[in-house]
Copies of this chain bind each other. A is one copy, B any other.
Amino acid sequence: MEYLKQNKFSAGDPLPKETELAEYLGVSRNIVREALSRLRMLGIVESKKRKGMILTEPDLLSGVERVLDPDILGDEAMKNLFELRLVLEVGMGDLIFARLKEEDIDKLENIAQREAKDPRTTSLKVRLSYEIEFHSRLYEMSGNETLKRFQQMLLPVFNYMMEVEAKLEKKPEKGNIDHFDLIETLKTGTPTQFRENMREHLTPHYKRL
- Nearest Cβ on chain B to A179's Cβ, whole angstroms: 19
Copies of this protein chain in the complex: 2
What residue in chain B is nearest A44 (Cβ atoms)?
B67
Q: Flag whether A137 is at the interface (Cβ < 8 A).
A: no
A155 to chain B: which residues have CB within 8 Å?
Answer: none
Taking chain A's interface residues, is the majority helix, strand, or loop, or is none over half, making it mixed?
A: helix
As a 0/1 sequence over residues 178 to 202 of chain A, the CB contacts with chain B under 8 angstroms (1 = contact) are 0000000000000110011001000
Q: Which of the candidate stretches A21-29, A104-112, A142-150 sits at the interface with the other chain? A: A142-150
Most chain B beta-carbon neighbours within 10 Å: one of A11, A73, A81, A92: A92
A91 touching B94 in the complex, CB below 8 Å, given contacts A37-B34, A60-B73: no
Interface size class of A (residues with CB under 8 A): 35 or more
Interface residues of A in 131-156 (CB under 8 A from B): 142, 144-147
Query: Which 4 A-B pairs give the minimum distances between C-beta atoms?
Result: A63-B63, A91-B91, A87-B91, A58-B67
